[in-house]
Amino acid sequence: MNWRRMFGLSAAAAVGMALSPQGAVAQKSLKEQIIGSWYLVTQIQERPDGRKEEFYGPNPKGINIFSADGRFAVIFTRSDLPKLTGGDRRTATPEESRAILMGTIAYFGSYEINETDRTILYKSEGTTFPNQGPTATRLITVLNADELRYRNPKVTSGGQLEVILRRAK
């Protein structure tokens, strides 16, 4: 048997095994893929009137962490938050407090992944925005080794938003 015929038979056998249920390579679940730390690239809110806004500005800071045991933490901030003139957050001016409140969000708790619906269910245990509610569902639109995108279809201020993250390395 010549090497071309032997190679062709070997390649055909490998393809057949890969396509068969017994020989298929198991693909990672969404939960397995999402585990880790993700840095915020941007968060774009689309208002009901169609206007789009980068909620945390053009250079946001933030992280979204998903642990293997089903815990999460989210911290997103603007990069241009003001320094407090008094140096003590307990004595911040109303303007400083408003800018910081409008430029940050943080929440943590547990999460569940619905593989069929491609959703993340956040179950918050603490948040800087209590009106968000105890649970929040996000629709995963992109998930690969380097990028995670999810959509919030029901923003409390109206419209929807898309969060774009890149895996921390």
Query: What pTM did the predictor assign?
Result: 0.81
Structure-model confidence comparison of residues 167 and 12, the more confident one: 167
Token duo for residue 126:
């603490």
Length of the chain: 169
Residue 16 has pLDDT above 90, yes or no: no
Token duo for residue 50:
């169609």
pLDDT tens column, 43-100: 999 988 999 999 899 999 999 999 999 999 999 999 999 999 999 989 999 999 999 9
Q: Which domains does the chain have, with CATH numbers?
A: 28-167 (2.40.128.280)
Task: State how far the Cα of 124 lies from the Cα of 91, in Å rounded to an integer.
Answer: 28
Q: Give buried/exposed letters for 41-78 (b at 16+ CB in 10 A, else e).
A: ebbbbbeeeeeeeebbbeebbbbbebeeeeebebbbbb
Residue 7 has pLDDT above 70, yes or no: no
